[in-house]
Structure 1
Amino acid sequence: VSNCLELDQFNTMPDHSDDHLDTHRLTWAVLLGKWVQFARSAVALPDDEQGRKLRASVPDLIMLQAVWFALQHMDELSAAEQALGLDRATVLVDHHTVQLNAHWQSEDLPQKIEQLITDVRQMLATVNENQQAKNQ
């Protein structure tokens, strides 16, 4: 699936600690711009079965990428916010995974979509483990 955004694009945040810009907000704005561009590109997908499935998958793909990115910043939240954030992330990952499987029910998920689901689930597990270790 060549239209899936690559997660590697979102692995790091720029380090501008001495800048007056809020890099956290700026990074989210850049990501939002990329997701809007990605969503717009889905309009050009062919009007065949696979194109329709990909088009229907775009909101779920964007949400999973957003959750993956947000999980990298869980340590910036208070303990109570982290617990709530992890619960919400779990619900979102489960919901959007179910939706993607529903879109592709007649065939296997494309490899890049499977990889995105795997990556976000691994990130969720890592953050969960880190939070449990802090609470002990």
Structure 2
Amino acid sequence: MSTPPSTHDTTTWATLLAGWVHYAQSAVALPDTAEGQRWKDSVAPTIALHAHAMALGEIEKVAPDERALAMDKSELSIKEHAGALNQIWRGEPMPESIGELIQDAKDAWEAALHEGVVWIVKSERFKSFHPGELIEMLLDAGFIGEVLIATPGIEMFKGAPVATCRENFGGEPGPDITRMIDAYLHACDGEVDHPQIIRPVCQVYRQFDFLAGGAQKDVVAPVTGDLQSGQPLLIPVVSGGASCAVPLPQRASKPLDLVRVEWLAEEGEESPSDSL
């Protein structure tokens, strides 16, 4: 039987095309049995899913005003080809390689949807104030994406994200929006690094050691990954063109001991904190 292409390969489009041609040609030689026919029928949709997964990894090359349409068309196409494969293998166990290809395409779409920018603490500590003025500026600018900010008054530590922002269909926000968030963060207590592109955006979870007392570590995890234990520290302030409820800063208390920041990067990826 033929083997579907793998989305884990890092290759050029010319190499991918050659691989798809070889895959299609090898399927022609399959026997005219029920299983052989299922594999032959699977060629077109598996190639299409692989192409979507690879193209979504480069969607930042699409013009910002065309990204929403590209994401919509990609989502519909992935559903169409996944449905075709489910129909082809109905009543029979779907090969693991095809199932993985379907999931890879869906994961690539989710990662593209949650692509954005992140601001990371470069000082020893960081504390934000209430972003009411920032929220008003973002809404006045017509921003309909999503912005998360560190909870006002909560101490954050070096290497931790304190803000993320993405457009409604994923991607880096426009320069005016980036400057607004950047100005707000630089007015807070502490220093942040320049915004970096991140895919997918992340959340920070503060985990506690209840036996010893106090915070144990801050875990930074992709929003599309497994839900982590702990207290989420980044809260939405603007989402879908509407403001979100933001709590007032807590009353000043004794500073926390330094808390270790740990990034859970996806396999094969480098966390943005590694560049600090």
- TM-score, length basis structure 2: 0.42
Following TM superposition, by how much is the alpha carbon of 1:2 offset from its aligned partner in structure 2, in angstroms?
5.0
Aligned residue in 1 for 2:3: 3
Aligned residue in 1 for 2:24: 39
Tell me which amino acid in the other structure corresponds to 1:49.
Answer: A
Aligned residue in 2 for 1:49: 34
Residue 80 of structure 2 corresponds to residue 95 of structure 1: yes
Looking at secondary structure, tell me which structure has more helix per residue: 1
Identify which of 40, 44, 58 aligns with 1:73. Answer: 58
Identify which of 29, 35, 38 aligns with 2:14. Answer: 29
Aligned to 1:8, the other structure's residue is in SS state coil
Aligned residue in 2 for 1:61: 46
- For residues 49 and 19 of structure 2, the distance between their equivalents in structure 1, rounded to whole angstroms, comes to 14
Tell me which amino acid in the other structure corresponds to 2:4.
Answer: C
Percent identical pairs in the alignment equals 32
Report if the CA contact (8 A) 2:46-2:98 is conserved.
yes
Aligned to 1:75, the other structure's residue is in SS state helix
Aligned residue in 2 for 1:24: none
Q: Deviations over 1:35-69 (max 9, x none)?
A: 11110110111211111001001000000000000
Unpaired segments ≥5 residues, structure 1: 14-26
> Could you say if the C-alpha distance between residues 2 and 55 of structure 1 is closer, same or farther in structure 2, counting changes exceeding 3 Å?
closer
Moved over 3 A (4+): none
Unpaired segments ≥5 residues, structure 2: 117-144, 146-164, 168-237, 239-276
Alignment of 1:125-136 (within 5 A): 125-130=110-115, 132=145, 133-135=165-167
- For residues 67 and 40 of structure 1, the distance between their equivalents in structure 2, rounded to whole angstroms, comes to 21
Aligned residue in 2 for 1:83: 68
Looking at secondary structure, tell me which structure has more strand per residue: 2
Aligned to 2:115, the other structure's residue is in SS state helix
Q: Which has the higher contact order (CA 8 A, sep 6+)?
A: 1
Tell me which amino acid in the other structure corresponds to 2:54.
Answer: F
- TM-score, length basis structure 1: 0.81
**What's the Cα RMSD here?**
1.7
Aligned residue in 2 for 1:122: 107
**Count of aligned pairs:** 121
